Every structure is written in C-alpha cells, then in structure tokens.
C-alpha cells in the first residue's frame, strides 16, 4: 500500500510532477477549509502545503501518521516548527537551496513593483481614470527615485536583487545585515540606526525568527527620516504593526506597501492589522497585497517541481521500506 500524500492547495500544480508523485504515493488533492485539512490529515504520511493553512498544535493532533511536511517556501512561520520536531516530523523546504533560489526572482520584482506603485500612487491614478476623470495634478506628490537613498534590511538573496534594482534606478544603496558582507562598490554596509536615519526608502528582507520579531518597531520608526517609505515583502511579524500605524498616522513616514501581515494565518485580524487594512481602503499612502510575492504560476511551478524532486530523493531515507 502506497503512503498517502495530501496536497492541500492543488491549483495549477504541475501535472507532470503530479504523475511522478503518483508513482510513489497515493495522492489526495485539496483541503479547502480548516475542517477539510484536519479530516484529510488523519491518515496522511506526507503533506505538501503552500501558505493557505497554519500547521499548528491542533493540526498535529489530527495527523498521527504524519512523517513529513513539504513546503515550497523559504519562510516557515506557517508551520509550528517546535511541534513538528517534538513529533519527529521532517520538514522539507526551500530553505538553504541557494543555487535554485537565485533563479526565483518574483518576490524581489514585487518589492520594486510595490515601491513604484506607492511612490507614484499608481493604483489610485488608475482608479481615478476608471471613474472618468483626468487630472494629473492630483498625483504630483510622487517621488523620483533617482538620487534618493535605498536602505535594505537583510542582504540575502532577495536583498541582493533589490539592491541591484536600486542601483539601476540611480539610487544610493545602503545595506544593514548582521553579517559582514562583500558588497559591490556602489553599495555601503551601515548599522541599522544609520540605515533608518539616512534612507528615503526602506525595504525589508529578513526571515521570521525570534531575533527579528518586531525588528522594525517604535525605536526604528523614531530614527527614520520624516517622509520615508517602507516596503515589506518578507514576513509580517518583522514589523511592529502598532508602531507602523502610529508612524503613518503622525506622518512620521509617508507610506507603506506590505505584501505580508502579522495576522495573515489567523482567522481574526489584530487591531493593528485591521487598522492597516482600513488605511489601505481609504488612503493611497498604504498598499496591501495578499502575500503574492512568490505567487506566480511560472515561479510556483518551478518551486513545486524542485521541492517534489527533493521529497522523492529524501523519501527513501525517511522510509527505507519504501
């Protein structure tokens, strides 16, 4: 009898990869709701997830046979890592797959798209013309990027790509990272405080971890230039959203564009996330997208092909009898 593999979000899952997986696993497709997930996981040996579900203590209590979780992501804050470790469940992800990940650029591209959309009020300008109006003077408060300073928090794979975009746009590029970095001659590594103080644009590219929780908080916003803008396509818990709301409401920062929120895996929005959503609904100073950074069909197909091949390679070591 083949082990059961549950693919929780099968939309556009690569068909050729699916057929390969079916040669090893009994594949079950879909878990649209939380109750579906808990029901389908009861006899699952492996679960392949995207970002639609939170795998928490309750989930693990409903998955007694589970031996591996597969996630085509680098961030894993949708999975309770501690609970999985206590159960001896293997987590197979893209974390550390540097050579492959260099070819996946969509999140960095979204970062730059959000920046341009924010500083030039592109969504509001499109809505303006869609309503039959044509007054460009309403949008003259946009920002030219050339000659401005771009501050990058975290100079890993995505931070490196975004730095290159900034250089191509004629920006001064500052980098803050916990490690000493080898940088191109046009970039400069500085302290976090210096980056906050000198940057017109700050982009966040650090992982979710205990040491980065609310890394960008009240003290960080206090050090920022008045009128700076913030872009976050990393993870929501890196930013203290209450402090962000305060910085927006007081005019300390000019705007924020976010692809992630701290409560995105929870059913109920926190007060600060709710306030950010309200600001996004009524103000062009806040843009929020629903964690679409890595969500393009071509990039997801590449990632799911890679992670499925990794699963198949590791399955023999997880289950020698197979």
Domain ranges in the chain are: 4-97+297-318, 106-288
Which homologous superfamily does the CATH classification assign to the domain defined by 4-97+297-318?
NAD(P)-binding Rossmann-like Domain (3.40.50.720)
Lookup result for tokens 């509001």: 124
Q: What pLDDT, on a 0 to 100 scale, did the predictor assign at position 220?
A: 98
CATH topology match: 4-97+297-318 vs 106-288:
yes
- Weakest-pLDDT range from 9-13, 212-216, 251-255: 9-13
Is residue 235 part of the annotated active site? The answer reads yes
- Weakest-pLDDT range from 132-136, 179-183, 253-257, 302-306: 179-183
CATH 3.30.70.1400 for the 106-288 domain, yes or no: no
The residue from 264, 284, 285, 304 that is catalytic is: 264
- 47, 69 Cβ separation under 8 angstroms: yes
Q: What pLDDT, on a 0 to 100 scale, did the predictor assign at position 320?
A: 53
322 has pLDDT over 60: no
Question: By percentage, how much of the chain surpasses pLDDT 90?
Answer: 88
Q: What pLDDT, on a 0 to 100 scale, did the predictor assign at position 193?
A: 97
Tens of pLDDT, residue by residue over 163-202, are 999 999 999 999 999 999 899 999 999 999 999 999 999 9
Is residue 87 part of the annotated active site? The answer reads no
Q: What pLDDT, on a 0 to 100 scale, did the predictor assign at position 75?
A: 86
Q: What pLDDT, on a 0 to 100 scale, did the predictor assign at position 268?
A: 59
Structure pTM?
0.90
Lookup result for tokens 């050579």: 99
Q: What DSSP string runs through 58-93?
A: HHHHT-TT--EEEES-S--TTB-HHHHHHTT-EEEE
- The backbone torsions φ and ψ at residue 222, rounded to the nearest 5 degrees and listed phi first, read -65, -30
Tens of pLDDT, residue by residue over 13-25, are 999 999 999 999 9
Q: What is the mean pLDDT of residues 225-229?
A: 96
Q: What pLDDT, on a 0 to 100 scale, did the predictor assign at position 273?
A: 87
Q: What is the mean pLDDT of residues 249-268?
A: 89
Element (H, E) at 287: strand 286-288
266 has pLDDT over 90: no
Count how many Cα atoms sit within 13 Å of the Cα of residue 11 in the half-sphere of its side chain: 9
Banded pLDDT at 318 (limits 50, 70, 90)? low
Q: What is the mean pLDDT of residues 18-43?
A: 93
Mean per-residue pLDDT of the chain: 94
Tell me the C-alpha distance between 44 and 30, whole Å: 12
Q: What pLDDT, on a 0 to 100 scale, did the predictor assign at position 32?
A: 85
The residue from 235, 242, 284, 285 that is catalytic is: 235
- 176, 152 Cβ separation under 8 angstroms: yes
The residue from 148, 205, 242, 291 that is catalytic is: 291
Tens of pLDDT, residue by residue over 204-216, are 999 999 999 999 9
Is residue 264 part of the annotated active site? The answer reads yes
Tell me the C-alpha distance between 201 and 225, whole Å: 9
> Environment class of residue 282 by beta-carbon count within 10 Å: exposed (0-12), middle (13-18) or buried (19+)?
exposed
């Amino acid at each position: 009898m083949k082990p059961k593999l549950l693919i929780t979000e099968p939309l556009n899952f690569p068909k050729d990869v699916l057929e390969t997986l079916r040669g090893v696993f009994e594949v079950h497709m879909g878990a649209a709701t939380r109750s579906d997930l808990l029901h389908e996981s009861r006899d699952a040996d492996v679960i392949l997830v995207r970002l639609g579900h939170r795998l928490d203590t309750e989930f693990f209590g409903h998955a007694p046979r589970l031996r591996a979780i597969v996630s085509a992501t680098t961030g894993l804050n949708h999975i309770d890592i501690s609970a999985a470790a206590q159960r001896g469940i293997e987590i197979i992800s893209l974390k550390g797959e540097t050579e492959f990940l260099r070819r996946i650029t969509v999140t960095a591209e979204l970062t730059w798209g959000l920046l341009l959309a924010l500083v030039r009020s592109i969504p509001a300008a499109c809505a303006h013309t869609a309503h039959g109006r044509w007054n460009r003077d309403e949008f003259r408060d946009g920002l030219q990027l050339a000659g401005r300073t771009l501050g990058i928090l975290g100079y890993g794979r995505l931070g490196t790509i975004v730095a290159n975009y900034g250089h191509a746009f004629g920006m001064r590029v500052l980098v803050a990272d916990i490690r000493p970095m080898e940088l191109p001659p046009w970039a400069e590594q500085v302290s976090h405080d210096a980056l906050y103080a000198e940057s017109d644009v700050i982009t966040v590219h650090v992982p979710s971890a205990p040491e980065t929780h609310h890394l960008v908080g009240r003290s960080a916003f206090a050090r920022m230039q008045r009128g700076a803008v913030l872009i976050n396509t990393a993870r929501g818990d890196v930013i203290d959203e209450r402090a962000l709301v305060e910085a927006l409401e007081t005019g300390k920062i000019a705007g924020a564009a976010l692809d992630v929120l701290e409560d995105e895996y929870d059913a109920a929005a926190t007060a600060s996330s709710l306030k950010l959503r309200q600001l996004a609904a009524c103000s062009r100073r806040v843009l929020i997208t629903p964690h679409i950074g890595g969500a393009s069909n071509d990039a997801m197909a590449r990632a799911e092909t890679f992670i499925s091949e990794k699963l198949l390679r590791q399955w023999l070591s997880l289950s020698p009898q197979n």
